[in-house]
Amino acid sequence: MMPADLPDPAFGATLTIDLDALVSNWRLLGKRAGTEAGAVVKADAYGIGIEPAVTALAKAGCKSFFVAHVSEAIRARKVAPDATIYVLNGLLPGAAETFAAHGLSPVLGSHEELLEWASFRQTGAQVRPAALHVDTAMNRLGLWPGEGLNLARERSGVIAAAGIGLVMSHFASSEDEAAPANARQIAAFAEIAAALPDLPASLKNSSGHFLKDCPSYQLTRPGYALYGGNPTPGQPNPMKPVVGLEATIIQTREVQDGTQVGYNGRWTAKGKRRLATICLGYADGYPRNGSWTDTSTGGSALIGGVSCPFVGTVSMDLIIIDVTDAPADAARRGGSVTLIGGPLDLETVGGGAKTIGYEILTSLGRRYHRRYVGL
Ligand SMILES: *Cc1c(COP(=O)(O)O)cnc(C)c1O
């Protein structure tokens, strides 16, 4: 075993995941909503690991989890035997028995799904309550609001037969407070929830917790903010950082003015520069076009507290960094480089890679030494 604070030389990079911060973010969101907060743990809990995340949250009292796929739900079930586990992608044809076998709850989003689930229930199968998804803006999954209202009005019908225990909808632009879609979605969902007064309802994703004039209903569904992502982009991040990423420098070199660097020589040194190579690349979730070239901007890392740009095309297993401005005692073979942490938050890293923090988080590589701390 390596001492906890030294990098394990069998790995090129260390991903540190703070489970105390995860739980504290979940508590903060629940407090803010003033209602039960669930947890969205799809995509391997946004890259941090579904088993450790669900274990920590369930122990802290989280009772409702949301995943995308049945396979993810089965993993969550193993570590949360009593929780309600909703499968957001709904009921694929023929999947009902698997749902029943693991006590999972489909999020039903079409008449076909409602009918298939209802007829499965009629066979006497023991199942947990399902959720009904109403699409108020995304045009992705869910019934139209009008269809939802019609079903709600024929009280005897399919909603009862399908054993619905939750009605939900999903925001399309809640991270943008000024987006006109927010108020439209809030109003459309209020009508649905009012037509189904006996059912608990759920609307808020992470950013929804910070929207003005948005009711929390009975359950919220935060994902990104649990993992430290900023639910209020452009404003200070109210969440605690959960993820830190450090890599080790393999070698350094000095290059002369005009030297081309990396595959296809897409970055050219202007003047004498000092470069360092670290052992992590696009196979570890760093987008190939997320570096500085002669014609485009890119991301950076922190070395001895100094921001140092990625240069040349990101390779599969390696990134080249211009460390000219970094302190020499830090920018050396074996030196440590921060890729996520401190001022390099998920939004900054996402922006540097021409994507969003969500994609950085859910792409976090499988080859890192993963270190879980807290709890
Ligand atoms: C992913 C997802 C969420 C969580 O969204 P965040 O923005 O990560 O908080 C909530 N609800 C649904 C339906 C989702 O697909």
CATH assignment at residue 122? 3.20.20.10
**Is 238 a domain residue?**
no
**Is 3 a domain residue?**
no
Residue 5 banded pLDDT, cuts 50, 70, 90: low
Q: Give the predicted TM-score (pTM) of the model.
A: 0.96
- Dump pLDDT digits (tens) for 311-349: 999 999 999 999 999 999 999 999 999 999 999 999 999
Residue 169 CA to ligand 1 center (angstroms) comes to 10
Claim to verify: residue 337 and residue 199 sit in the same structural domain: no
- What pLDDT is stored for residue 156 in this prediction? 59
Last residue of a domain, one of 227, 253, 288: 227
Which atom of ligand 1 sits closest to the CA of residue 40? 4
- Dump pLDDT digits (tens) for 280-312: 999 999 999 999 999 999 999 999 999 999 999
Question: Whole-angstrom Cα distance, residue 340 to residue 290?
Answer: 14
Burial-class residue 305 by CB neighbours within 10 Å (0-12, 13-18, 19+): exposed
Claim to verify: residue 222 and residue 265 sit in the same structural domain: no
Give me the chain's average pLDDT, please.
Answer: 96
Mean pLDDT in residue range 212-238: 97
**Is 180 a domain residue?**
yes
Per the CB < 8 A criterion, the answer to whether 290 and 298 are in contact is yes
- What pLDDT is stored for residue 4 in this prediction? 54
**Is 10 a domain residue?**
no
- Dump pLDDT digits (tens) for 67-109: 999 999 999 999 999 999 999 999 999 999 999 999 999 999 9
Claim to verify: residue 85 and residue 209 sit in the same structural domain: yes
Claim to verify: residue 260 and residue 347 sit in the same structural domain: yes
Q: Which domain holds residue 78?
A: 19-227
For the range 294-300, what are the long-range contacts, defined as Cβ-Cβ under 8 Å and sequence gap of 24 or more? 294/266, 294/267, 294/268, 295/266, 297/352, 298/352, 298/353, 298/354, 299/349, 299/352, 299/353, 300/344, 300/352
**Is 188 a domain residue?**
yes
Per the CB < 8 A criterion, the answer to whether 230 and 346 are in contact is yes
Percent of the chain with pLDDT over 90: 93
Split into its structural domains, the chain has a count of: 2
Residue 9 banded pLDDT, cuts 50, 70, 90: confident
**Is 13 a domain residue?**
no
Residue 267 CA to ligand 1 center (angstroms) comes to 38
Claim to verify: residue 284 and residue 174 sit in the same structural domain: no
Which atom of ligand 1 sits closest to the CA of residue 358? 8
- The closest alpha carbon to 310, from 333, 282, 330, 332, belongs to 282
Residue 223 CA to ligand 1 center (angstroms) comes to 6
Claim to verify: residue 69 and residue 216 sit in the same structural domain: yes
- Please report, for residues 39, 211, 270, the alpha-carbon distance to residue 36 in angstroms, rounded to integers and kept in the order given: 10, 17, 56
Claim to verify: residue 38 and residue 65 sit in the same structural domain: yes
- Dump pLDDT digits (tens) for 236-276: 999 999 999 999 999 999 999 999 999 999 999 999 999 99
Last residue of a domain, one of 201, 227, 253: 227
Asked whether the predicted pLDDT for residue 2 surpasses 80, the reply is: no
Residue 169 has which token pair?
A: 């909808």
Amino acid letter, 51 = E
**Is 160 a domain residue?**
yes
- What pLDDT is stored for residue 155 in this prediction? 62
Which of 170, 210, 227 for a ligand 1 pocket mutation test, highest count of atoms within 8 Å of Cβ?
A: 170
Which of 166, 205, 209, 362 for a ligand 1 pocket mutation test, highest count of atoms within 8 Å of Cβ?
A: 205
Residue 89 has which token pair?
A: 């992608």
- What pLDDT is stored for residue 189 in this prediction? 97
- What pLDDT is stored for residue 154 in this prediction? 79
Last residue of a domain, one of 198, 227, 256: 227
Residue 356 has which token pair?
A: 């969003």
With a 6 A CB cut-off, is 86 part of the ligand 1 pocket?
no
Claim to verify: residue 92 and residue 195 sit in the same structural domain: yes
| C-alpha Rg value of the chain to the nearest Å | 24
Claim to verify: residue 327 and residue 284 sit in the same structural domain: yes
Asked whether the predicted pLDDT for residue 152 surpasses 90, the reply is: no
Claim to verify: residue 212 and residue 277 sit in the same structural domain: no
- What pLDDT is stored for residue 1 in this prediction? 43
With a 6 A CB cut-off, is 25 part of the ligand 1 pocket?
no
CATH of the domain at 326: 2.40.37.10
Query: Of the segments 151-155, 156-160, 278-282, which one has the largest average pLDDT value?
Result: 278-282
**Is 153 a domain residue?**
yes
- Dump pLDDT digits (tens) for 162-189: 999 999 999 999 999 999 999 999 999 9
- Please report, for residues 175, 204, 355, the alpha-carbon distance to residue 178 in angstroms, rounded to integers and kept in the order given: 9, 16, 21
Claim to verify: residue 223 and residue 331 sit in the same structural domain: no
Claim to verify: residue 223 and residue 255 sit in the same structural domain: no
